[in-house]
Amino acid sequence: MISRRKLLKRLSTLPLLGGVFGSSLLIPNMASAAAAPAKRNLIQELGLRTFINAAGNYTSMTASLMPDEVMETINESAKHYVMLDDVQDAVGKKIAALCHAEGAMVTAGCWSALVLGTAGVLTGKDTKKVAMLPFLEGSGMKSEIILQKTHANGYHHALTNTGAKLVLIETRAELEAAISEKTAMMWFLNREEPLGKIKHAEWLEVAKKHNIPTMNDIAADVPPVENLWKYNDMGYDLVAISGGKALCGPQSAGILMGKKELIEAARLSAPPRGGNIGRGNKVNKEEILGMYVALETFINRDHDKIWKSWEKQVSHIASAIEDIPGIQTETVIPEIANENPTLKVTWDKNKINLTGKLLGEKMRNGTPSIETISWESDDYIRVAVFMLQKGQDKIVAKKLREALLESIA
Ligand SMILES: *Cc1c(COP(=O)(O)O)cnc(C)c1O
């Protein structure tokens, strides 16, 4: 491939070029084209640290990289005006069909899907009620959302953005007792299913018996790809997912999908409409379209092949360090969220003078910088491969080996 600089050099030696580009009268905007500076690189210009992501879809690490299909969609659509509602209508239909839902919308992340979905449940399609949120008292709207205590781990705060009150329960008896004419919704945090006493089937059974809408937060729960439709099929009225985690869509996008009536109601609290609590949950057309293409691209991947390549990368990294005295390696697959093979590296502290945090710092401060999961324990780190770019497993293996060897006691 010819580098840009070489190309410019070659072009500038062509006699004709001065004739074409030399006259600013002919093509005013092209006047400086021949002497165009090298493409701006903001990462360099601002001195930002980039790194190999051997950790995963962490919001603080900007989560995931968008594939070319998504970036092409974003760049192309940025050149055209369309009506924001028209984009949501069209994309919503496509996403709904892909995920076995009646309706769908692109939201400003999974958090925004939780807020807007809850707003839709509370207000229905009554625009007067939409304008009243978050003040539920005396509004005639239902005001309570029931969830299990073990599911209240931070993200449930999104529900309170609507003004709704949370009712935390543990057992089925407590659930039945908590249900009243005030109950607006029953909320489930998918990744905490193993911790709660009430599982999906029972949660839905009770909700249906009392005719209460349900929502499931599956933010980080693909792969497996089937999860994109599993909970719609199961009977949840609304399902919320992050767009910028493993789906590799825009980081600030997400999807709310489910019953058509509820999606239509949720959109009443969303831009372009104002005068409501959702006005800040704006998603631009580029991201709405990018989200759709990211979802489609993700679904169409060869998931088995990709899983095998992850396993291969994990075993490559393991085999690069296994001979170091005191090292133990193990493949760990998280049960629900971020379900993908990771390499857990444990060491004998008498032989290797490191804590998890220190090894994480060593990897971060190396060249190239590498982020690992180094905060879970003093005794180990985990290395995730599912966000690695091609060939980076080799670099991670080499740098990890170096870091461990340097720390032999
Ligand atoms: C990441 C996450 C969210 C928030 O998602 P965003 O797309 O960052 O808004 C909500 N719930 C859970 C369980 C998450 O992991």
Question: Per-residue pLDDT tens for 193-208?
Answer: 999 999 999 999 999 9
pLDDT at 10 over 90: no
120 lines ligand 1 (CB under 6 A): no
Query: Both tokens of residue 29?
Result: 């905007």
Annotated domain spans of the chain: 81-299, 303-405
| Burial (CB count <10 Å: 0-12, 13-18, 19+), residue 41 | exposed
242 lines ligand 1 (CB under 6 A): yes
- Euclidean distance between CA atoms 204 and 236, whole angstroms: 7
Per the listing, tokens 């490191």 go with 354
Cβ atoms of residues 118 and 142 within 8 Å = no
Q: What are the helix (H) ranges across 241-284?
A: 260-267
Q: What are phi and psi of 53, to 5 degrees?
A: -90, 90
User: What is the domain class of 81-299 according to CATH?
Assistant: alpha beta
Amino acid at 334: P
Q: Atom 2 (ligand 1): residue with closest C-alpha? A: 219
Right CATH number for 303-405 from 3.40.309.10, 3.20.20.70, 3.90.1150.180, 3.40.109.10?
A: 3.90.1150.180
Query: Both tokens of residue 173?
Result: 């008896």
pLDDT at 389 over 50: yes
Tell me the β-bridge partners of 327.
Answer: 347
pLDDT in tens, 175-232: 999 999 999 999 999 999 999 999 999 999 999 999 999 999 999 999 999 999 999 9
Note whether 81-299 and 303-405 share their fold: no
Ligand 1 centroid–CA 150 distance in Å is 16
Cα-based distances in Å from 326 to 7, 314, 331, 344: 53, 19, 17, 14
pLDDT in tens, 53-109: 999 999 999 999 999 999 999 999 999 999 999 999 999 999 999 999 999 999 999
Query: Both tokens of residue 356?
Result: 């998890």
